[in-house]
A and B are shown apart, each in its own frame.
Chain A
Amino acid sequence: MKRIGPKPSGQWERITWDEALDTIVHKFRTVIEQYGPEHIVIGQGTGRDYESHMYRFANLLGTPNVLTAGHMCYVSRVSASLITCGNLPVVDYYVSEPKLIVMWASNPMWTNADEYKGENFYRAFKNGAKLISIDPRKSFYAGKADIWLQLRPGTDCAMAFGFHNVIIEEELYDKEFVQNHVHGWEAFKERVMKDYPLDRVEKITWVGKDLIRAAARIYAATKPAAIHWGVPTEQNINCTDFTRTAIGLMGITGNLDAPGGNALFVNPPVRTVAEFSCHKALTKEAQQKRLGGMEFFLGARVQFINPKKAWDSIVYGTPYQLKAGLLCGSNPVVSRAHAKQAYLALQKLDFLAIIDHFLTPTAELADIFLPAGTWLEQSHIADNWKRHGYVFARQKCVEIGEAWQDHKIFLELGKRMGQSWFPTVEDALDYILEPSGLTWEQFKEKDYLHGEMVYQKYKERGFSTPTRKLEFWSTVLEKWGRDPLPQYREIPESPYSTPELAKKYPYIFNSGLRTPTFFHTEMRMIPWLREIRPWPICEIHPDTAKIHGIRDGQWVWIESPRGRIKQKAKITEGILPNVIAAEHGWWYPENKDPGHGWDVSNSNILTNNAFETCDPNMGSTNLRVCLCNIAPCEEE
């Protein structure tokens, strides 16, 4: 579709695929000729199995500016893992099973499409695995856990240091592993004991040190044990260092790449996403033009940029101005921090094309809208990007209207741009499958492939790091002149960092409370799902609600220095009195205004995206924690 009114007017005209693709190609060619390919931003939202095609298109276009959710979601843990132990450690529920699970900031039974499988976790739990829950909320897991650590939101990294402190002090670690497979142990040990005594960890995390000690002890004593961690640990300033510290825990307790621990899965013999993406086709020169690439170099290593770098480029032209964009399955005006900036930038962007299922508030800012098929309308080798050691044959079972699967859109666009692609979607799949000796047709029969699992590969060949060891002391960070050891950084907007601000905004806003029926900004247009969850919910402690005269189910204003939103109060003792936990991703498809209520209940109106609040190496934005105040809504 083509927008025919001003943006956003909600005035669209249906056009042919040919016209739509040619319009994009023409625009992109013009930008490349006039300014250069780096002036085009390509991007996507949450991982939906088309990153291989999206990246191939971007790389062959010659732009280093790829804007994904990766800076604070999953790819960021992959990047931090790569420099620490060479691969992403994933809980081994598949081959073996843990006897203890640390459920760290994750709710996999509600979000299981995202990452690890909730079903497998629960099977292990029912089989008798002990459970430690690290969660600011009294969740389902907290209710079931042997130990529940109700920490201050955003302090996970300090908590991980607390675990290390106990394990080092009580010598509960695997000495052989530390001696032979760790780089920088002594320096790390010194930092832990000097900077993170339990008294300090207690002060930072608000969790009693005895409880931390008890949790660390059973984590160290139970074998195998696994840490099942969620994205809240990544969506703040401590993204890289939490991941590195947590991997450290897995290592020194002998659980890294161990059966039933956190395993480094072996990929099945198929072409990797990286290879298909042709990252090598992007020239050094182009790479150097990546927005924020020198600053957030760990993000640059895995080919993504920080969103504010893109917004600043569009709005202020620094260091140069993005002129055109193509975003796929992404709704940044709802899903990215400081949403007002995102909205302003995308409104200002000279040319924007959007691939999506529905006209989201972001899509309403586009010039061209391309209708994508859902997962049921696509053929693909699924889950190849996750490093879980298997791939599935996702087989197209229905075709609805003129919607194309995302892969086909990138493929057709790429061909029109003169890039090297494949005749059909299926031909591309054959290419990915080639190392396995299977064709797509054969793979469809087989349905899935998994890598031949070998545990503790480091014993034979070390870890895939420069020192071949688990790098507590990161030689990569060292080379870039950054602190080679992990550290806990206080959340930049908190009662401790900004006590003056905290007088006006006395509560910690903890965004990202999950809704069981929705995923991020998705699904809110499906009536029977909205029937279950008609409104966004924020959790408030009864004492806090009483102070403000807020009743259960009442609309509540939540305000931060960046704006205010409203959600409905759920009064619960499961949250700390000074924390407000709120759902994210809300907009109102039923609102026919082209803004679709993007700023009414959107938690990212409140969050901050300033560079000093981002992870200094990764560029992860803080989607989770800031300061806020609350008040009951006057109108009811």
Chain B
Amino acid sequence: MSKISLIFSQSDCCGCHTCEVACKQEHGLGVGPRLVRIIERAPLFMQYYCHHCEDAPCELSCPEEAIKKDPETGVVLHDPEKCNGCNSVEGKSGAEKQQTSPCKFNCPAKNDIQGFLSLTAKGKYREALQLLKETSPFPSICGRVCTFPCETDCSRKQIDEAVSIRAIERFLADQDRSNDDAYVPKLKPARSEKVAIIGSGPAGLTAAYFLAKNGHRVTVFEKLPVAGGMMAVGIPLYRLPRKVLAAEIGVIQKMGAEIKTGVTFGKDVTFDTLKKEGYKAFFLAIGLHQNVRLNVANEDLNGILKGIDFLRDVSLGNPVSLGRKVAVVGGGNVAMDVAMTALRKGAKEVSLVSLEQRHEMPAWEREINEAIEEGVKIVNGLGPNKFLEKNGRLSGIEFKRCTSVFDEKGMFHPQYDETDLVRMEADTIIIAIGQAADPAFAQEQGIAANDGGLIAADPTTLETSIKGVFAGGDACYGSKTVVEAIGAGREASVSIDRYLRGLDLYTGREERDAKPTPITQPVKEKFDPAPRSSPAWLPPQERMSSDEVQLGFTEEIAVQQAQRCITCGTSCVQACPYGVMQFNHATLKAVKCDLCAEKRRNNEAPACTWACPAHCIHWGDAAEFPAGVDEGLQSIVP
């Protein structure tokens, strides 16, 4: 038999669910597994069905090799003998498998975390990395700087501590980078439409990665002389060596995305000029590269630096001049980065002054401690009153005592004791109190802004007030994280892909995974007793001269730590981009569409195909399908 496929024609689907019911009855599935699923948004409907993918993520994710593509027919088959339901043993977490584990649920990039952990535990690093790259182009970067929301609700916490997910992700990415043939995803057949992406930060580059993977022609326009956005000019070098960043961006370029640096949108290129050049869709991911002003007296004195500019200049190798005594104003992670970077740039004494009390500081505890270890002095509860001047030069800063930072509703609303003033001498003061967008930008381009002055975009589709123009990342929702930007970039790529194919932007995207309920009472004795390891930091005295201050896991530790995952979900279920792979609670095994293998042996058609009143389901040799029926293929929410 030749290669066979199953395709639903989206435009012909009337949403009657007949295929879904036929499939259930044919395979006696009962309540639970829904191998075909119809999402309704009349007058349009979307079908979730097994595409028997070329490089099937479910196959990739299975550590037991229970899922295999039939070489003859191309049908992805599941072997129930080999499948152990991801350690579905009574009394383990097995009988209470989650559709989506908390790690994936909390990950804005929607990485199949259980999947790559299980593969790592079996020493299958290449497969694990590939699985990561299904959902994110930046495992090296997330492995270093991610805020790891995945670890927050980790089910392992019910036994001891969360699995060290971030460190394992870094291990996999570092392994891959050390190979001669670092992994480059396969591309889908090329398409003709050109897409312009404005901004090469994590959101823009993620969109570029997925669009390139889907065969689109992508150009990324970057204002700065380097690509990477805040990954290149915001995150300090000692956290993220630039060769690591360059390698991951290099993969995106290898996939065909063109990155043009030093091009300012609105000046060098505009919507009009790009449209004339044939660009059909746009993604604005311009980030927040402006500083926030304090608006106190003498703010423009010589010797006062702006945090974002300072980090950018250091990253780009531009000269920065710091005095001996440096004061940093701000209490967030950026302020910590600024303070520690100042130490590396020759400052002898660095004080960080935060409005908040120690326990209220927005910076992470880990980063505050890192700064203290390196010798940064933290001063709490002071807000700038004015900068002090002596002979036309900065001499220091005067603070007023902050009596409370937040109001009863928890909103930022600082109150001061104007009579309690404190002065501090400083040669250089760096203000790091937040990031802002360029307010003129959206207005000049005719794009509607939201209440906060940021670019307004539809929360589901990321479409702006202009059709075909999408926006995402910090410029839309304010200062967030790399992994949030990756999520936004991928959503944008889905929207743009659908937009270019003329498909509805909404269908199927509003239905999201339900928040997992915690599993109950996993039997501690049944799991690997190993305690959590966290990656080591260099001793403070060695950090100043090192490229990278945090160390990675060794192979042995990575494997041991990956084995700590209690597999509260199922790898393949979470890997499937089409929501088709299901866990059958009756059999305690995964179950998937095998294109009615039994029936095909008797030359009969799968139940879903003949039950459809619109005859919108095609199966057999894909070459013989009516033209255009595959248009919905790439448009599922990843």
Taking Cβ atoms with an 8 Å cutoff, the residues of A that contact B are 109-110, 112, 118-119, 122-123, 126, 137-144, 516-517, 527-529, 531-532, 552, 572, 574
Are B17 and A528 touching (Cβ within 8 A)?
Answer: no
Are B17 and A527 touching (Cβ within 8 A)?
Answer: no
Are B43 and A143 touching (Cβ within 8 A)?
Answer: yes
CA–CA, A137 and B18, complex, Å = 22
CA–CA, A572 and B507, complex, Å = 12
Interface membership of B401, Cβ < 8 A? no
Are B43 and A142 touching (Cβ within 8 A)?
Answer: yes
Are A143 and B613 touching (Cβ within 8 A)?
Answer: no
Are B42 and A110 touching (Cβ within 8 A)?
Answer: no
Q: Which of B421-479 contact A (CB under 8 A)?
A: none
Write the chain B residue with the least CB distance to A143.
B43
Question: With A109-B614, A139-B43 in contact, is A532–B31 under 8 Å at CB?
Answer: no
Contact partner of A531 among B15, B34, B613, CB < 8 A? B34
Are B34 and A138 touching (Cβ within 8 A)?
Answer: no
Prevailing SS type, chain A contact patch? helix
Contact partner of A574 among B15, B24, B31, B43, CB < 8 A? B43
Question: With A109-B14, A516-B15 in contact, is A122–B615 under 8 Å at CB?
Answer: yes
CA–CA, A138 and B24, complex, Å = 29
Are B613 and A139 touching (Cβ within 8 A)?
Answer: no
Question: With A552-B510, A572-B42 in contact, is A140–B31 under 8 Å at CB?
Answer: no
The 6 closest A-B pairs by CB, nearest first: A143-B43, A109-B14, A119-B613, A140-B14, A527-B31, A516-B16
Are A574 and B42 touching (Cβ within 8 A)?
Answer: yes
Least Cβ–Cβ distance between B459 and chain A, in angstroms: 12
Are B44 and A143 touching (Cβ within 8 A)?
Answer: yes
- Binary interface encoding of chain B residues 6-44 relative to chain A, with 1 for a CB under 8 A from any of its CBs, else 0: 000000101111101100100001111010001001111
Least Cβ–Cβ distance between B47 and chain A, in angstroms: 13
CA–CA, A118 and B12, complex, Å = 13
Question: With A122-B615, A140-B15, A516-B15 in contact, is A528–B42 under 8 Å at CB?
Answer: no
Are A118 and B24 touching (Cβ within 8 A)?
Answer: no
Q: Which of B488-510 contact A (CB under 8 A)?
A: 510
Are A517 and B17 touching (Cβ within 8 A)?
Answer: yes
Question: With A516-B17, A528-B24, A532-B17 in contact, is A139–B614 under 8 Å at CB?
Answer: no
Are B42 and A138 touching (Cβ within 8 A)?
Answer: yes
With most chain B CB atoms within 10 A of its CB, the pick from A112, A137, A531, A574 is: A531
Are B31 and A531 touching (Cβ within 8 A)?
Answer: yes
Are A528 and B29 touching (Cβ within 8 A)?
Answer: yes
**Residues in chain A near residue B38, CB distance under 8 A:** 532
Offer 15 A-B interface pairs, CB within 8 angstroms, sorted by A: A110-B14, A110-B16, A112-B613, A118-B614, A119-B615, A122-B615, A138-B43, A139-B43, A140-B45, A142-B43, A143-B44, A516-B16, A517-B21, A532-B38, A572-B41
CA–CA, A119 and B43, complex, Å = 18
**Residues in chain A near residue B32, CB distance under 8 A:** 531
**Residues in chain B near residue A122, CB distance under 8 A:** 12, 14, 613-615
CA–CA, A282 and B24, complex, Å = 48
Least Cβ–Cβ distance between A135 and chain B, in angstroms: 10
Least Cβ–Cβ distance between B45 and chain A, in angstroms: 8
CA–CA, A37 and B12, complex, Å = 53
With most chain A CB atoms within 10 A of its CB, the pick from B21, B34, B38, B510 is: B21
Q: How many residues of B contact A (CB 8 A)?
A: 24
With most chain A CB atoms within 10 A of its CB, the pick from B21, B41, B43, B615 is: B43
**Residues in chain A near residue B29, CB distance under 8 A:** 528
Least Cβ–Cβ distance between B43 and chain A, in angstroms: 3
CA–CA, A109 and B13, complex, Å = 10
Write the chain B residue with the least CB distance to A138.
B43
Least Cβ–Cβ distance between B167 and chain A, in angstroms: 38
CA–CA, A140 and B24, complex, Å = 24
Least Cβ–Cβ distance between A491 and chain B, in angstroms: 24
**Residues in chain A near residue B16, CB distance under 8 A:** 109-110, 118, 516
CA–CA, A527 and B32, complex, Å = 10
**Residues in chain B near residue A572, CB distance under 8 A:** 41-42
Least Cβ–Cβ distance between B42 and chain A, in angstroms: 6
Least Cβ–Cβ distance between B370 and chain A, in angstroms: 42
**Residues in chain A near residue B42, CB distance under 8 A:** 137-140, 143, 572, 574
Question: With A109-B16, A552-B510, A572-B42 in contact, is A528–B614 under 8 Å at CB?
Answer: no
CA–CA, A529 and B20, complex, Å = 9
CA–CA, A139 and B43, complex, Å = 5
**Residues in chain B near residue A110, CB distance under 8 A:** 14-16
Least Cβ–Cβ distance between A101 and chain B, in angstroms: 14
CA–CA, A574 and B21, complex, Å = 26
Write the chain A residue with the least CB distance to B612.
A119
**Residues in chain B near residue A142, CB distance under 8 A:** 43
Write the chain A residue with the least CB distance to B43.
A143
Least Cβ–Cβ distance between A92 and chain B, in angstroms: 19
Least Cβ–Cβ distance between A554 and chain B, in angstroms: 14
Further contacts, 11 of them, CB under 8 A, given A126-B12, A143-B42? A112-B613, A119-B614, A122-B12, A122-B615, A140-B42, A140-B45, A517-B21, A528-B29, A531-B32, A532-B38, A572-B41
Contact partner of A109 among B41, B43, B613, CB < 8 A? B613
**Residues in chain B near residue A552, CB distance under 8 A:** 510
Are B613 and A528 touching (Cβ within 8 A)?
Answer: no
**Residues in chain B near residue A139, CB distance under 8 A:** 42-43
Least Cβ–Cβ distance between B365 and chain A, in angstroms: 35
Q: Which of B587-638 contact A (CB under 8 A)?
A: 613-615
**Residues in chain B near residue A119, CB distance under 8 A:** 613-615
**Residues in chain A near residue B44, CB distance under 8 A:** 143
